[in-house]
Chains A and B, each alone.
Chain A
Amino acid sequence: SQQGEEDPQALSIQEGENATMNCSYKTSINNLQWYRQNSGRGLVHLILIRSNEREKHSGRLRVTLDTSKKSSSLLITASRAADTASYFCATDQGNYGQNFVFGPGTRLSVLP
């Protein structure tokens, strides 16, 4: 079952612009994570936000979480060509379980 659903499916921006990706989920969660995948490679963890947090920053990344709307957004500021990748949100389904559910991802292209 698809818990996380990213939006948009694909995004193309110019270098220097900001990129915003959204994730919606269905059930309650304890935390939500964002991962990045470069083409043909494994996923790399970017940031985790707990259900009692509303916003979190890490370098050029800003994540927000709205549990009332069951949604999260990932903002990448001052994007670079190296940010070109697919971005996935993952939710723990609220059971502190070991396994997460990943959405289909947003494919970001940053043009030089």
Chain B
Amino acid sequence: DVKVTQSSRYLVKRTGEKVFLECVQDMDHENMFWYRQDPGLGLRLIYFSYDVKMKEKGDIPEGYSVSREKKERFSLILESASTNQTSMYLCASSFSGTGEETQYFGPGTRLLVL
């Protein structure tokens, strides 16, 4: 079974703090994604990566950065957390090149910024 794990299920941070969210997948997937999910807005893509050290901006990259130093690990960084970044963060991974990639999701990290 594909397993995508996220470092924390719940996280509480203060405004201005630097926040690291980590995601690890064990299926040798090329692609990895970070989404945020807010009520009524569905999933919005923040960043994705199709290879080690490669990254592409999604729909809402402002205020976020990412790092992919190893194929299995994709980190989302909030440089200076703000209250409007309170959200559910979902990581996903998929194979590349088939044209029918299924995304496998982690359990999510619910972040509260005070």
Are A98 and B105 in contact, CB atoms less than 8 angstroms apart?
no
Task: For A9, give the chain B residue with the smallest CB separation.
Answer: B40
**Set of chain A residues within 8 Å of B30, measured between Cβ atoms:** 98
Interface residues on chain A, number (Cβ under 8 Å): 27
Are A105 and B42 in contact, CB atoms less than 8 angstroms apart?
yes
Task: For A90, give the chain B residue with the smallest CB separation.
Answer: B103
> Given the known A-B contacts A40-B108, A98-B48, A98-B96, are A45 and B103 also in contact in the complex, defined by CB atoms under 8 Å?
yes
Q: How far is the CB of A96 from chain B (nearest CB, A)?
A: 5
Are A98 and B42 in contact, CB atoms less than 8 angstroms apart?
no
Q: How far is the CB of B93 from chain A (nearest CB, A)?
A: 10
Task: For A96, give the chain B residue with the smallest CB separation.
Answer: B99
Task: For B108, give the chain A residue with the smallest CB separation.
Answer: A42
Are B105 and A48 in contact, CB atoms less than 8 angstroms apart?
no
Q: How far is the CB of B52 from chain A (nearest CB, A)?
A: 14
Interface residues on chain B, number (Cβ under 8 Å): 31
Per-residue 0/1 for B54-69: is the Cβ within 8 Å of any A Cβ (1 yes, 0 no)? 0010110000000000
Within 8 A of B (CB), among A80-104: 88, 90, 92, 96, 98-104
**Set of chain B residues within 8 Å of A30, measured between Cβ atoms:** 99
A45-B93 Cα distance, complex, nearest whole Å: 12
A105-B88 Cα distance, complex, nearest whole Å: 15
Are A98 and B94 in contact, CB atoms less than 8 angstroms apart?
yes
**Set of chain A residues within 8 Å of B107, measured between Cβ atoms:** 41-42
Q: How far is the CB of B83 from chain A (nearest CB, A)?
A: 21
Are B102 and A45 in contact, CB atoms less than 8 angstroms apart?
yes
Are B106 and A50 in contact, CB atoms less than 8 angstroms apart?
no
Interface-central residue, A90, A100, A101, by most chain B CB under 10 Å: A100
Task: For A5, give the chain B residue with the smallest CB separation.
Answer: B42
Within 8 A of B (CB), among A1-48: 1-2, 9, 30-31, 33, 35, 40-45, 48
Within 8 A of A (CB), among B91-111: 92, 94, 96, 99-108, 110
Residues of A within 8 A of B (CB): 1-2, 9, 30-31, 33, 35, 40-45, 48, 50, 88, 90, 92, 96, 98-105
